[in-house]
Amino acid sequence: MHSHKEGAGPACVCLTLLSHFSTMKLFTSLVFCSLVLGVSSVGWFEFMGQAYDGAKDMWRAYSDMREANYKNSDKYFHARGNYDAAKRGPGGVWAAEVISDFREAYPRVTDLLKHGDSGHGLADSMADQEANRWGRSGKDPKHFRPPGLPDKY
């Protein structure tokens, strides 16, 4: 039985490969990466379903963050996306970790492509990763919820 530990490893290698592929190659790479990561606690199809649903949870949290555009809410949405994805199971945890690590490893690329330079540095990235880990661990994301954020979120 294999286990995935935080830090560099197969997920980072897979992430690097995934960032350069078409949608079909992306799906094929996800399948391959899930096998490399040693999916053993759940079946392969179940793991992939959890990963897909977890990725949707992460996207929903990101979209809500952009829509809310609320001061000091960034960490809450990081924690919430990871929390929701992790509730899906091992595949959701894996998807949340890969997406979170990519976003924090390549913020300049994603910021410039979509929203311009965020100007956030290493300290902000480290705080984001702490919120990501908090959510993935199953702790309540409301710990990071800023006062006054609309109930919709």
- The pair of structure tokens assigned to 27 is 């799906």
Statement: residue 1 has pLDDT above 90: no
How many residues are present in the chain?
153
Looking at residue 43, what is its pLDDT? 83
Q: What global pTM score does this model have? A: 0.68
Please, what is the end-to-end C-alpha distance for the chain in angstroms? 38
What would the pLDDT profile of 32-80 be if each residue is shown by its tens digit? 665 566 555 668 889 999 999 999 999 999 999 999 999 999 999 999 9
- The span from the CA of 98 to the CA of 26, in Å, is 13
pLDDT, mean over the chain: 79
Statement: residue 138 has pLDDT above 90: yes
Statement: residue 8 has pLDDT above 90: no
Mean pLDDT within 19-34: 59
